[in-house]
Amino acid sequence: MKIISVVGARPNFMKIAPFIRAIESYNATSDNFIDHCLVHTGQHYDDRMSQAFFEQLDIPEADINLGVGSGSHAEQVGYTMIEFEKVLRSRQPDWVVIVGDVNAILACSVAAKKENILCCHIEAGLRSGDMTMPEEINRLVADRISDLLLTPDRISSENLLNEGIPGHKIRFTGNIMIDTLEHSRNKAQRMRIEDIISANSVNGFRTRFNGFSESGYVLMTLHRPSNVDRKEVLEPIVRFIMDEVCSEMPVIWTIHPRTRKMMHSFGLLDEVMSNNNLIMLEPLGYLEMLKLNMYARAIMTDSGGLQEESTVLGTPCLTFRWNTERPVTLQEHGGTSKLVGNSIDLIRKEFLTALKKSRNPVIPELWDGHTAERCLQAIIDYKTINAGNSLLKVKEYGRS
Report the residue number, 9 or 378, with the smaller CB distance to ligand UD1. 9
Cα–Cα dist 356/302, whole Å: 22
Q: Which among 14-22, 99-107, 234-242, 339-347 is the span making contact with ligand UD1, rule CB under 6 A?
A: 99-107
Name residues contacting ligand UD1, limited to 210-249 (CB under 6 A).
223
Residues known to be catalytic? 223
Output the smallest distance, CB 75 to ligand UD1, in A.
Answer: 10
Output the smallest distance, CB 9 to ligand UD1, in A.
Answer: 4
- 211: region left, alpha or beta (phi > 0 left; psi from -120 to 50 alpha): left
Q: Which among 37-45, 272-280, 328-336, 371-379 is the span making contact with ligand UD1, rule CB under 6 A?
A: 37-45
103 binds ligand UD1 (CB under 6 A): yes
Report the residue number, 9 or 150, with the smaller CB distance to ligand UD1. 9
70 binds ligand UD1 (CB under 6 A): yes
83 binds ligand UD1 (CB under 6 A): no
Report the residue number, 46 or 271, with the smaller CB distance to ligand UD1. 46
257 binds ligand UD1 (CB under 6 A): yes
Name residues contacting ligand UD1, limited to 127-156 (CB under 6 A).
134-135
Report the residue number, 44 or 297, with the smaller CB distance to ligand UD1. 44
Total number of residues binding ligand UD1 (CB under 6 A)? 18
SS3 203: coil
Cα–Cα dist 312/322, whole Å: 22
Output the smallest distance, CB 103 to ligand UD1, in A.
Answer: 4
Other beta carbons within 10 Å of 173: 24
40 binds ligand UD1 (CB under 6 A): no
Non-local CB neighbours of 368 within 8 Å, separated by 6+ positions: 174, 178, 182
DSSP-derived letter for residue 207 is G
Cα–Cα dist 124/171, whole Å: 9
SS3 277: coil
Amino acid found at 370: H
9 binds ligand UD1 (CB under 6 A): yes
80 binds ligand UD1 (CB under 6 A): no
Output the smallest distance, CB 397 to ligand UD1, in A.
Answer: 40
DSSP letters of 84-132? HHHHHHHH--SEEEEESSSHHHHHHHHHHHHTT-EEEEETTT-----TT
78 binds ligand UD1 (CB under 6 A): no
44 binds ligand UD1 (CB under 6 A): yes
Output the smallest distance, CB 223 to ligand UD1, in A.
Answer: 5
DSSP letters of 41-97? --S--SGGGTHHHHHHTTPPPPSEE----S--HHHHHHHHHHHHHHHHHHH--SEEE
Q: Which among 41-49, 59-67, 328-336, 344-352 is the span making contact with ligand UD1, rule CB under 6 A?
A: 41-49
State how beta strands 35-40 and 64-65 pair.
Answer: parallel
Count CA within 13 A, CB hemisphere, residue 235.
8
Residue selected from 5, 14, 22, 43 as contacting ligand UD1 according to rule CB under 6 A? 43
Cα–Cα dist 245/251, whole Å: 7
42 binds ligand UD1 (CB under 6 A): no
Report the residue number, 134 or 314, with the smaller CB distance to ligand UD1. 134
Rg (CA), the chain: 22
Strand-pair partners of 252: 219, 279
Cα–Cα dist 320/341, whole Å: 4
Residue selected from 7, 38, 102, 126 as contacting ligand UD1 according to rule CB under 6 A? 102
258 binds ligand UD1 (CB under 6 A): yes
List interacting residues with ligand UD1 (CB under 6 A).
9-11, 43-46, 49, 70, 101-103, 134-135, 223, 256-258
